[in-house]
């Protein structure tokens, strides 16, 4: 298994000079505006500076807000705007928390006392479980909620996808009535959507968080929204702000931009979040263009080719390379890397 995690991080600084139009043709003024970025996440009230993992039973943190993120879907924040997460290793029937001890320091449980659900969310969805230490943890639709200690400021979702077990999104099918609360709620990218590289501000997601294993090079914490690394097998490849390898799907098209990855495909291959065209290194900003997916959500493209990350990768891995003969890492000019 190839990985650049064990090597010094090398960022390519030379901008690649390429044609500015999708598909290598002449410039097309009908192409989407490359400078468009998502708006900030709404919060229940003006963000209040509290330490990550702070106690949401006090002050405005107890009042939660519902956010409809275009890349993640419905998620909850506390009253200060910090994202709340779920842990797929938690037990069900009866609900129990599998995150205790050192895990709970990285993923502080949300206390149930005093917590208020967002307007429009059925109050009956609110519940609690008793943790191993005897405290009460908040649940929504039976799902225990947590904060991520490495989210440095409101709106970040740097814990989403950590260890492939921690997620910011709430599955509507598991939370009855959530769809109704989402009706009319505008989509928003938020600070954690990748705009201006905020997806990992304050630290990239660490593989193994909650399980006590895994490290990511310190340099990853300061990665731009898109950058270039030198993989020992593939050469120069593009990674996102979390250090994850980005891929292309050979069934997609660049002009008109289309994505053939829908439905069950999205369980393994996640559309790359938008980045600001100026938040790139080693890549021509003119190639950084947003794409409106068939479901209405937005996805980052490079030279108009949709980009994805693989749920089977940790930062620095390339486990998705060559999958099905249709998924390949991406070079700085947007071309496929098939070595």
**For the chain, what are the domain ranges?**
22-38+197-337, 59-188
197 confidence band (pLDDT: 50, 70, 90): very low
- 279 touches 225 (CB < 8 A): yes
Structure tokens at 294: 């068939």
pLDDT at 141: 86
pLDDT at 217 over 60: no
Residue the block writes with tokens 């249709």: 326
Tell me the sheet residues that pair with 259: none
Angle at 51 between CA 50 and CA 56, to 5 degrees: 60
pLDDT at 337 over 50: yes
Residue 282: CB atoms within 10 A of its CB come to 19
pLDDT at 316: 86
pLDDT at 22: 65
SS3 328: strand
**Mean pLDDT of the 217-235 span:** 77
- 286 touches 332 (CB < 8 A): no
pLDDT at 53: 42
CA gap 306, 260 in Å, rounded: 10
pLDDT at 87 over 60: yes
179 confidence band (pLDDT: 50, 70, 90): low
pLDDT at 249 over 50: yes
Structure tokens at 260: 């053939």
How big is the chain by its Cα radius of gyration, in Å? 20
- Listing DSSP states for 250-295 in one string gives TT-EETTEE----GGGGGTEEEPPP--TTSBSSS-GGGEEEEE-TT
pTM: 0.45
pLDDT at 38 over 60: no
CA gap 83, 74 in Å, rounded: 11
Burial of 318 (0-12, 13-18, 19+ CB in 10 A): buried
118 confidence band (pLDDT: 50, 70, 90): confident
* Ramachandran class of 73: left when φ > 0, alpha when ψ lies in -120 to 50, beta otherwise: left
Structure tokens at 142: 């039976």
- Which segment of 15-19, 92-96, 291-295 scores lowest on mean pLDDT? 15-19
- The chain-wide mean pLDDT, for the chain, equals 74
pLDDT at 25: 40
SS3 297: coil
61 confidence band (pLDDT: 50, 70, 90): low
Exposure on the CB side of residue 115, measured as CA atoms within 13 A:
28
98 confidence band (pLDDT: 50, 70, 90): very high
Tens digits of residue pLDDT in 286-302: 999 999 998 888 999 99
- Which segment of 14-23, 78-87, 99-108, 247-256 scores lowest on mean pLDDT? 14-23
**Mean pLDDT of the 263-274 span:** 91
**Listed residue (311, 288, 286) closest to 298, CA to CA:** 288
């Amino acid at each position: 298994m190839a990985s650049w995690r064990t090597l010094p991080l090398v960022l390519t600084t030379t901008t690649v000079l390429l044609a500015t139009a999708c598909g290598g043709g002449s410039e097309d003024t009908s192409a989407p505006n490359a400078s468009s970025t998502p708006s900030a996440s709404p919060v229940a009230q003006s963000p209040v500076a509290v330490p990550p993992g702070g106690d949401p039973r006090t002050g405005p943190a107890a009042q939660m807000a519902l956010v409809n993120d275009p890349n993640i879907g419905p998620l909850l924040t506390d009253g200060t705007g910090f994202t709340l997460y779920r842990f797929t290793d938690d037990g069900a029937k009866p609900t129990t928390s599998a995150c205790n001890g050192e895990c709970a320091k990285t993923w502080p449980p949300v206390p149930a006392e005093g917590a208020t659900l967002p307007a429009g969310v059925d109050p009956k969805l609110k519940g609690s479980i008793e943790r191993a230490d005897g405290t009460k943890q908040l649940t929504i639709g039976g799902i225990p909620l947590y904060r991520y200690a490495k989210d440095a400021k409101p709106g970040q979702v740097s814990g989403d996808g950590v260890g492939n077990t921690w997620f910011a999104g709430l599955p509507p099918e598991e939370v009855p009535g959530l769809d109704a609360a989402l009706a009319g709620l505008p989509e928003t990218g938020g600070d954690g959507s990748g705009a201006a590289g905020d997806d990992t501000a304050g630290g990239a997601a660490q593989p193994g968080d909650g399980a006590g294993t895994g490290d990511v090079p310190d340099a990853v914490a300061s990665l731009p929204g898109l950058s270039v690394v030198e993989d020992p097998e593939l050469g120069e490849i593009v990674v996102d702000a979390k250090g994850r390898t980005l891929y292309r799907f050979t069934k997609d098209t660049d002009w008109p931009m289309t994505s053939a990855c829908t439905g069950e495909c999205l369980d393994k291959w996640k559309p790359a979040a938008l980045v600001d065209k100026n938040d790139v290194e080693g890549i021509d900003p003119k190639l950084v263009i947003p794409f409106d997916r068939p479901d209405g959500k937005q996805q980052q493209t490079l030279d108009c080719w949709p980009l994805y990350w693989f749920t089977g990768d940790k930062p620095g891995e390339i486990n998705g390379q060559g999958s099905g003969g249709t998924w390949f890492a991406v070079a700085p000019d947007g071309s496929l890397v098939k070595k």
